[in-house]
Amino acid sequence: MKNIVRAATTTVGVGLSIAVLSAGPASATGGTHVRCNDITALRNAISQANTSGGRITLAPHCTYTLTAPDNPEDGLPEITGNVTISGRDTSVRRAPNATQAFRIFHVANGGNLTLKSLTVSGGSVPDSAGGGIWNSGTLNLNSAIIKGNLAGTGGGVYNLGGQLTLDRSTVKRNTAIHNGGGIANGRYAILDRPGTVTMKGGALLKNRALNDNGGGLENVRSTASLDSVSVRGNTALHGGGINQFGSTLRLTSTTVRDNVAVSGGGLANNASTAALVRSLVTRNTAITAGGGIFNENSGQATLTASKVIHNTPDNCSPEGSVPGCAGPANRITPSSR
């Protein structure tokens, strides 16, 4: 993964189009209701919640459109406190005609952000990371959608040494110029802290890494766990569905299918360990080898009651590198582990 150096780490303010139902400040006990498209009220509510903690409720069935950034790279004030933002069929997006590049949210080291029933879309930072969200703190996505964002790395979400939890959430149709079309999960070198991604339900769907690795998920020197997730229709040079280097991956009751890459259509596993439990890797395509799983540099993948079948041009590469992986006849004998 290429290193992205954040030029500015200071923050506050907003440049969006959003709003508040009550004019009172956010508080840990009461919270603030934001009317549809009241920009100033949302900015104030986030700033107050950063100070004292608080809940912010957005208007249902409303699209909040950010027309300009609050700071050089973020559409909304940087999250430094404990903030929860909830909606219902509610979207927060960068305006399609916005002239400046910015992401939607940035969670700083020590910050904690929970998003409930929100869609985050349209963020664009082609020369930086985290098109929708940059997280170096704690980010919880509950019934959320991260879609249609663009970044150099981490088209949807860039999780740099943070704790990222997705519950019944979908990351779809995001684009990275380099690594991690949907999510890029990496180690925060300065703090020597790996990133952690935990995903339960939901999907990594139709994301793209244009010039590098990890169409759905890029996992570098970090840890990722996916349970009951659909990893489908993603594309990259290596690891169409998932690419990892020096990392640990666990897939439980997860399906990896219809992903495309030059190598490792479903999973590219470089100097890493991957454990698949009751999971299915199928109908993925590689141009060269490892249609289902591609192991390199002593990468190890284990199958427990799992199948790697019907991938093109093969299921696992090098042949024999994944115990129990089906051969050319696409037959699978799961390991007894």
pLDDT at 89: 95
Judged by phi (left if over 0) then psi (alpha if -120 to 50, else beta), residue 52 lies in alpha
Q: Which residue type is seen at 225?
A: S
pLDDT of residue 31: 82
Which tokens sit at 10? 């200071």
Does some domain include residue 48? no
Looking at the domain assignment, is residue 42 inside a domain? no
Mean of the per-residue pLDDT values of the chain: 89
Which domain covers residue 312, as residue numbers?
A: 103-317
How many domains, the chain? 1
- d(CA 4, CA 158) in angstroms, rounded, equals 10
On whether residue 191 sits in a domain, the answer given is yes
In a domain, 96, yes or no: no
pLDDT in tens, 246-298: 999 999 999 999 999 999 999 999 999 999 999 999 999 999 999 999 999 99
**Residues belonging to the chain:** 337
% of residues, the chain, pLDDT over 70: 88
Q: Residue 23 falls within a domain, yes or no? A: no
Task: Judge whether 285 lies within some domain.
Answer: yes
Sheet holding 316-317, edge to edge: 105-107, 133-135, 157-160, 183-186, 217-220, 242-245, 267-270, 293-296, 316-317
| pLDDT surpasses 80 at 333 | no
Per-residue confidence at 43, pLDDT binned at 50, 70, 90?
confident
Q: Reply yes or no on whether the pLDDT at 91 is more than 50.
A: yes
183 located within any domain:
yes
- What was the pLDDT predicted at 18? 30
Nearest to 189 by CA among 18, 62, 4, 14: 4
| 19 located within any domain | no
Give the tens place of pLDDT for each residue, 174-226: 999 999 999 999 999 999 999 999 999 999 999 999 999 999 999 999 999 99
| Statement: residue 336 has pLDDT above 80 | no
Percent of all residues in the chain with a pLDDT value above 90, rounded to a whole number: 84
Better-scored residue on pLDDT, 97 or 43: 97
pLDDT for position 28:
39
